Structure 1
Amino acid sequence: MTPLVTSAVLLAAVTHASWNAIAHRITDKLVGFTLILTGGVLIGLVLACFATVPAARAWPYLIASAGIHFVYVVLLMTSFRLGDFGQAYPLARGSAPLVVTVFAAVFAHEVPDGWAAAGVALSCAGLTGVAVWGLRGRRPDWAAIGAALATGLSIASYTVVDGLGVRASGSALGYIAWLMVLQGLWISGYALWRWRGETVAVLRPFTALGLLGAALSVAAYGLVLWAQTRAELAPIAALRESSIIVGAAIGALFFKERFGLPRIAAAGLMVVGIGLMLHTG
């Protein structure tokens, strides 16, 4: 990974944590994700006017990815509804590189070395710490933990699908443009049906915040897709999840969620594991 690719992925990590925080901040999750994804459709249509249409062989990946993103959004909304941002976000994002490492080996023939295997082990330990910290004798909220881990599985799935798709597309910009359009149309249609004549009134109070989230979302994933055309999938997925620390800080600073030294240590362990996955020998 070149310094330029590394910088792009790190910027994607910050913007990704930021738009997720915006989605969590809007109390009605359907309103938040409707604004973010519909804004993504509008941005995608604008980008499509200036980008090359993806090659025919990329469209099966685009369609599959749009379906996986639908599942991802439903799971992410559920995670944010059931758990703290400071727990749900690290679990969802931290579990994804572990699965991407396996998927990339199977589907893209990018086999990890010993350093990556050690990173997987450390990240798993960190994930466990993030999940169980704060229980204080209470039973784990398995629904919240399960939703976050399922979200991580969906993230890993679309990461690999899009990694293969953008490489086949011949145009990273064209791929992200049409992906934003395809993945956002379903929620736009559902919102119009759900709120009917009241759609504008329901969305208006959060429009500015939601559209900011949309811009950050497109930027975050666009940077990742561009990077996936220039480096292997697993290291990019791993580096991208440095957003875990950003998400933890946002949860503590803006949502007044108690993070505590043990969870900071657990999140740090995840980042060390991600760093080992990035080691090139």
Structure 2
Amino acid sequence: MVVEPLIVALLLAAALMHATWNAILKSDQSDRLATFGIIMTTGTVMGLCVVPFVPMIEPAAWKYLLTSVTIHIAYYFFLLKAYSYGDLSHTYPIARGLGPLLVALVSGRMIGEHLRPQDIAGVLLLSFGLIALAMPLKNVVPRPGSRHGLATLFAMLTGVTIAAYIIADGLGVRAAGPTFEHRISYIAWLAVIEGPWLLVLAAVLRPGTVWTHVKRTWYRGMIGGVVANVGYGIAIYALVLGPMAHIAALRETSVLFGALIGTLLLGEPFGRRRVAAAAVIVIGLVLMNGPQLI
């Protein structure tokens, strides 16, 4: 099953949105937790504006929604840790590339969506690109516990949680109900329930400084929140319209956007090898979502 061109275009837009809000978060040097909290709380406000106008999701969908919220909490932790140790152009491609790779590997057994030969080729390209991207820029082996090693570890853990919440949300939005409005309701309720916790945590950990930070930089988090929630809403809805591995793979072309933003706008080093590795990852992702070749 190949995804329709309109959905492909929407997913590419969602990929750019995802890379954009991650760049906003990574570029915050003062209090990333508070900024992330504003991003997510913006989603809560957006969700609350939607839920009065859509039907309630089916009872069967709630277990997936609550599972997704739990996984997202772990995702937030690993993502913040990855960004605290490494560059966007290093950590972002690893995390986002690993997610669809894992979805492709487990989707056949878990949800009956089996891989084509070209999907397997795409998985192998992803693996090769991830290994090349994860290597340090200089010809040295990082010491155990080094910042590079920790950045790679937390980026990989982030990728595991990405795969987990993609599957949870894919199953959840499919169980939410038969209509477009039911699926929008699932997206809105997910935003409502998962949104405020990071900002609450930031207030508990740093009560003396967090509100000063919010007053000074609220607009950055709000812009990031609108971009993040619209982008992920598109991705969740698309999970109804095609195989999860293909949707996840196409969305994660954001790795290229993330690498370019990190290099061109944030001034992070990239190097020719990482350019080649990012290109291989994107080729693998596109191959997994392309039409039947054999």
> Which deviates more from structure 2 when the two are superposed, residues 64-73 or residues 29-38?
29-38
Does the CA-based 8 Å contact 1:55-1:168 persist in structure 2? yes
Q: Specify the alignment match of 1:249 in structure 2.
A: 260
Equivalent residue of 1:49, what SS? Answer: helix
Q: Specify the alignment match of 1:174 in structure 2.
A: 185
Q: Specify the alignment match of 1:148 in structure 2.
A: 155
1:143-176: per-residue Cα shift (whole Å, max 9, x none)?
1111001100000000000000000002221111
Q: Specify the alignment match of 1:273 in structure 2.
A: 284
Q: Specify the alignment match of 2:79 in structure 1.
A: 76
Q: Specify the alignment match of 1:46 in structure 2.
A: 49
Does the CA-based 8 Å contact 1:36-1:211 persist in structure 2? yes
Q: Specify the alignment match of 2:39 in structure 1.
A: 36
Q: 2:119 aligns with which of 116, 121, 136?
A: 116
Equivalent residue of 2:196, what SS? Answer: helix
Q: Which sections of structure 2, spanning at least 5 residues, go unmatched?
A: none
What aligned pairs does 1:93-104 form with structure 2 within 5 A after superposition?
93-104=96-107
Deviation at 1:135, TM superposition (A): 3.0
Deviation at 1:199, TM superposition (A): 4.3
Q: How many residues align?
A: 281
1:126 aligns with 2:137: no
Does the CA-based 8 Å contact 2:99-2:160 persist in structure 1? yes
Equivalent residue of 1:10, what SS? Answer: helix
Q: Which sections of structure 1, spanning at least 5 residues, go unmatched?
A: none
Does the CA-based 8 Å contact 2:34-2:210 persist in structure 1? no
Give the aligned residue type for 1:18: T
Q: 1:21 aligns with which of 20, 23, 28?
A: 23
- Provide the C-alpha distance between the structure 2 equivalents of 1:263 and 1:192, rounded to a whole number of angstroms: 38
Deviation at 1:94, TM superposition (A): 0.6
TM-score (norm 2): 0.92
> Which deviates more from structure 2 when the two are superposed, residues 190-199 or residues 75-84?
190-199
- Provide the C-alpha distance between the structure 1 equivalents of 2:282 and 2:252, rounded to a whole number of angstroms: 8
Deviation at 1:108, TM superposition (A): 1.1
Pairwise CA RMSD: 1.4
- Provide the C-alpha distance between the structure 2 equivalents of 1:10 and 1:63, rounded to a whole number of angstroms: 27
Q: Specify the alignment match of 1:208 in structure 2.
A: 219
Give the aligned residue type for 2:254: S
- Provide the C-alpha distance between the structure 1 equivalents of 2:259 and 2:207, rounded to a whole number of angstroms: 37
Q: 2:229 aligns with which of 189, 193, 218?
A: 218
Give the aligned residue type for 2:155: A
TM-score (norm 1): 0.96
Q: 1:238 aligns with which of 246, 249, 268?
A: 249
1:184 aligns with 2:184: no
Q: Specify the alignment match of 2:167 in structure 1.
A: 160
Equivalent residue of 1:155, what SS? Answer: helix
Q: Specify the alignment match of 2:7 in structure 1.
A: 5
Deviation at 1:51, TM superposition (A): 2.2
Does the CA-based 8 Å contact 1:8-1:223 persist in structure 2? yes
- Provide the C-alpha distance between the structure 2 equivalents of 1:169 and 1:18, rounded to a whole number of angstroms: 29
Does the CA-based 8 Å contact 1:89-1:247 persist in structure 2? yes
Does the CA-based 8 Å contact 2:34-2:199 persist in structure 1? no
Deviation at 1:197, TM superposition (A): 6.7
Q: Where is the helix percentage greater, Structure 1 or Structure 2?
A: 1
Give the aligned residue type for 2:176: S
- Provide the C-alpha distance between the structure 1 equivalents of 2:203 and 2:52, rounded to a whole number of angstroms: 25
Q: Specify the alignment match of 2:70 in structure 1.
A: 67
